Structures are given as C-alpha cells and as structure tokens.
Copies of this chain bind each other. A is one copy, B any other.
Amino acid sequence: MKVSKDHPRYRSLLVREMMSQMVRDGIVAPSGLIAHGRGEAFDYLLGEQTTDNARRAERAAVVLLLSASRPVISVNGNTAALCAEEIVRLAEAVGARTEVNLFHRTEERLDRVVAFMEKAGGKQVLGRHADASLPGISSDRAKCSKEGIFSADVVLVPLEDGDRTEALVRAGKKVIVVDLNPLSRSARASSIAIIDEVTRAIPNMTAIVPGLKTDGRGQASDPTFDNAANLAEALEFICARLNRLASEGKA
C-alpha cells in the first residue's frame, strides 16, 4: 500500500509496512506484529517521547553494561527488524556480544535473523548453535548459547517475554529490558526496565557511553537506580498525560 505523507500517523504507517514486509522476509514472526502493535499503543500513551524517567533507566543500563564481565545483547526478530544497526553500534560501544534468541524459534528464521544482523555489521553474532538451556522454562524458549546468554552476567533483552525475563533473573543474571508497558511482567521482573521505544532507547544508550566509559570495565553499577520506583514513576507519567488528555477532551 502507498502511504500518504499527510496521514497523521505517517511514521507509524511506514514502520507498519516495513514490519509487515519483514514477516514476508522471514525475519519477524507473525505474532511479532501483534507485539509491535501493543508497543505502538503504549508509546502513543507515552506521547512517543523519551521521558526523563527513561533517560535515567538508560543511563543506569549503560553503567551496568560497562561494569559487566560478560555482557550480552539478546536480539529477537522485532529488535532486528526495528534497529539492527543501532544494536550493532551499542554492542561495539559497550563491548557486548550479541545473540539472536527467538520466542517463536525455527532454525530457518534463526539463520535469517543472524544473517540479517551480520549484514547490519554484527561481528561474531551468536545464536546459531544453541548448546545450553536456561532452567525453568519450556524447552524451545530455554535454548541459548553457552558462550553467550548462558554465561553472561548482564543481559540486555529488548522486547522480551515475561517468562524468559524471569528465567534469566532466576539464573542469577542482571537483566535489562526495553519495554513500553510499565506493568508488564518483564518490566517488573527485570533489574532495569527502560520504558521507551526501542529505536529511541538503543541510540540514546550508545550516545551516553563515551561520557560514562571512564576507565573501561570495573565501574560500579548505579546505586541510585530503583527499578520499582522507576516503573511507578513511568506509570504516573502515563496517568498524568491521560488525565490531561481526558480533561482536554471534555473542554
């Protein structure tokens, strides 16, 4: 479909078309489109902006990634489709490995997403050889790479399912999620939840690395960051915005 430039939701419509094409290309799972739609709705409630709250979480996340011994960025189909190059840049900036890990896992789609990340500049992208298993979740979704997620101490999982976030936390890892729903299980179970849209969050994080990377590894994690308080604040931001829209609607 041709998208008219004067449509009030022009950018959303372009991204929708791109994501639909990514399903045809075998990068995004059909149900990944449903997840994208959920994200769109929550981003609409946020006003499609990075809040101060999100900036604080992004900063805490970069500090944590820089302090990690074995940081890994987990990439699923939606993340690859939305911001493959941005993930590659962040991984380079913080010295993290990237691992493709799919919710709806098929070997074919896994191969395609790894190739897609490599085409975006990704080096030594993990995920093709799932030689380890996370305990406590169903078989297919437990699969991961031994030298990647399995042995990571800090994992950034943009757009992750609640079950897997909880399993990663139970496995003793610090888990950073990017999730637009401050009420989601992923957001609540994670160590740091960034309530921001992934294509804004990832470049924001890369941009603050130079200022935080003083002596490379070894910086302590941000002691002032409180995930529960941050989530409550994100929810309050949405509430305040809705209350304002509701009162404008009545005017």
Q: Which residues of A contact B (CB under 8 A)?
A: 1, 4, 7-8, 16-17, 19-20, 23-24, 29-31, 33-42, 44, 104, 138, 140, 162-163, 181-183, 185, 228-229, 231-232, 235-236, 238-239, 242-243, 245-246, 249-250
**A8: contacting residue among B29, B185, B236, B250, CB under 8 A:** B185
CA distance A16 to B23 in the complex (A): 15
- Say whether, besides A4-B138, A34-B19, A239 and B242 are in contact (CB < 8 Å): yes
Q: Name the B residues within 8 Å of A4 (CB-CB).
A: 138
Within 8 Å by CB of A232, from B138, B183, B249, lies: B249
Which chain B residues border A41 with CB–CB below 8 Å? 37-42, 181
Nearest-neighbour CB distance to chain B for A40, whole angstroms, equals: 5
Write out the residue numbers on chain B whose beta carbons fall within 8 Å of the beta carbon of A236. Answer: 246
Does the CB pair B37–A30 fall under 8 Å?
no
9 smallest beta-carbon distances between A and B, as pairs: A37-B37, A41-B41, A20-B30, A33-B33, A34-B37, A235-B246, A38-B41, A37-B38, A232-B250
Given A17-B31, A34-B33, A34-B36, does the pair A250, B228 have CB atoms closer than 8 Å?
yes
- Which chain B residues lie closer than 8 Å to A162 at the CB level? 8
Which of A8, A20, A33, A182 has the most C-beta atoms of chain B within 10 angstroms of its own C-beta? A33
